[in-house]
Chain A
Amino acid sequence: MSLLTLPSNREEGWRWSDLSALPQLSEREPTGRVPTDLPWIACEREGPRLLFVDGRLDETRSRLGPVEIGPVDVTASDHPLARLAGRSGWRLRLGLDHAPHGLVQIVHVSTGAADHLAAQIELDVDAQASICETFIGEGWANRLTGIRLFKGSRLMLSRRLLGASGFISQVDHAQVGQGASLVVASLAAGGTDTRLDGHYALDGEAAYAEASSALLARGRQRHDANVVVRHAMPSGVSRQVWRSVADDRAACSVAARVEVARHAQKTDGEQSLKGLLLARSATINAKPELEIFADDVKCAHGATVGELDRNALFYLGSRGVSPDEARALLTRAFVADALDRIGEEEVKAAFYADVETWFAGR
């Protein structure tokens, strides 16, 4: 039996978490059942594909390309979930000016138990990659991803958290170098609970980092995110766009912080946390934070929580749109702020299709 030490709600970073399902999931046996239809995104330019079943690569259904499997060099940190992720998994290291052919797709199927996996992404000067990870199944998928972007490199990392039940935890540790760009976009639109942690450090001048997420929750689901963007060098730009939607008795919680170090002058940091309550019994928690030690910075943050606009609902109704369809249309518009930031059309379309599936699941 594994010893699982989990943080308590008394710790500030975990005050809104509910990890109570994890001990049980850790002791379950995986069923190993993998659906025949996997949520690959059809792409004009087919890139590498990796299928992980319960944290293990299914070689017969994978095409690695430049991705390697083996030990990875990530700091496990003292994060209580990240340190369980171990030190082996997948690794994408791209040399100077390299880019994989097409979108790198990774599907994680978690078949009912707990699986842990680490990953390392390292892009050398001017390298580029776009990676889309999709999580399905009903276990606990626990992930740690170390990201290192050297000068001028660009990484687009999109994640679809679609597990039918269970838990998905994801911890990112990223260092973004001079003029490099990191965009992380996530969508939680399944039945699973989630916990997302991100530590994005802008370590080089004029670096760019963005975290955009749409979290959809219903029933008694919980999504819980804790993100820190740290501007360590001058002229960095960061964007955080979080859109939370909670129905029934569900809860979405987002704590997002922007830190600006003393000499990180000319920082431009924006943070927008918005919540939409589809039912009075649902909960949205938002905690935007700015910690600024430089004087010449432009930082904006805002947090709002509201309900669907009644006037808009009636306007739509008067034009013949049913209440369910009207709610879906307005909710889709609400999360669009986050999803429209995804650059690749094929990935964006997949995200929107996931949102539709979520609405259809009512």
Chain B
Amino acid sequence: MLKIDNLHATVDDKPILKGISLAINAGEIHAVMGPNGSGKSTLSYVLAGRPGYAVTEGSVTLDGEDLLELDPHERAAKGMFLGFQYPVEIPGVSNVQFLRTALNAQRRARGEAELSAGEFLRVAREQADALDLSMDMMKRGVNVGFSGGEKKRNEMVQMGIIDPRLAILDETDSGLDIDALRVVGQGINRIMRKPDKAVLLITHYERLLEIVEPDFVHVLAGGRIVRSGGPELAHELEREGYGAMAEAAA
């Protein structure tokens, strides 16, 4: 589904990604772990098309189509979803309004019928319930006054409503208490664990990976993938830290 080949990218002319290659097939969940500043968020932003992030070498395709040519909203319409490490607050725009606009824009782009206000609210309520967010909160400004954990749960409500094919989740587990972690982990499984979907899960902690079991684990250090393996790699990291691996890569 997603094929990243020798990806190099700079931020403000500073090289951050230095040759990343990764292939993610439908039905797979890939975890990416790595020390602070290793380029995990940068990778997620480059994949989502954030302005200011320049690809200097390499390619990324989604279902064989050049992803890097597309604007962020076009990537979303193709089925890509980015769960933000730091979800953005938008005062004056309610979550409901934001998501209805988003969902209908995607449906329009795909030639599907838009949802009526009533239909949309039914879907929104279902997803908000599943993640323990009240509809009162959904009527407030996007992420405004939300706690760190509520913002992350809101990302998952959004993912549930949008129902993407490919989710890139950047530290969706950070800032969550133990109960919320379980709710969010189960949410990811419920929404994304399907034969025609795929997930790139960026995390620092093994705990999330006990709920959302990855098929592959990759270690990113210094802008490169320095090791790849199965779920056991996460246990090894939990025991030994990144130190040895990052050094090996340097």
Interface residues of A (CB under 8 A from B): 309-312, 314-323, 325-326, 329-330, 332-334, 336-337
User: Which candidate, B86-94, B189-197, B235-243, is the interface stretch facing chain A?
Assistant: B86-94
Q: A318: which B residues are within 8 A, CB to CB?
A: 48-50, 72-73, 75-76, 81-82, 84
Are A316 and B102 in contact, with the CB atoms below 8 A? yes
* Chain B nearest CB, measured from A339 CB (Å): 11
Are A321 and B82 in contact, with the CB atoms below 8 A? no
Are A322 and B92 in contact, with the CB atoms below 8 A? no
The 8 tightest CB contacts between A and B, nearest first, are: A333-B92, A317-B72, A320-B76, A319-B102, A320-B106, A315-B88, A333-B93, A317-B73
Sample (27) of A-B pairs whose CB atoms are under 8 Å apart = A309-B90, A310-B51, A315-B87, A315-B142, A317-B73, A317-B76, A318-B48, A318-B49, A318-B50, A318-B73, A318-B76, A318-B84, A319-B98, A319-B102, A319-B162, A320-B103, A320-B162, A321-B73, A321-B102, A321-B105, A322-B105, A326-B73, A329-B98, A330-B92, A330-B93, A333-B91, A334-B92
* Chain A nearest CB, measured from B154 CB (Å): 12
Q: Name 20 extra pairs, CB < 8 A, besides A310-B51, A315-B142, A319-B158.
A: A309-B88, A312-B88, A312-B89, A314-B48, A314-B50, A314-B72, A315-B90, A316-B101, A316-B102, A317-B71, A318-B82, A318-B84, A319-B98, A320-B77, A321-B101, A325-B101, A326-B73, A330-B90, A333-B90, A333-B91
Q: A320-B162, A323-B73 are in contact. Are A312 and B90 (CB under 8 A)?
A: yes
Are B88 and A322 in contact, with the CB atoms below 8 A? no
B249 at the interface (CB under 8 A from A): no
Interface 0/1 of B102-136, CB less than 8 Å to A: 11011001000000000000000000000000000
Q: A321: which B residues are within 8 A, CB to CB?
A: 73, 101-102, 105
**In the complex the two chains form, what is the Cα distance from A333 to B97 in whole Å?**
11
Contact with B92, one of A320, A325, A326, A337 (Cβ below 8 angstroms) = A337
Q: B84: which A residues are within 8 A, CB to CB?
A: 315, 318
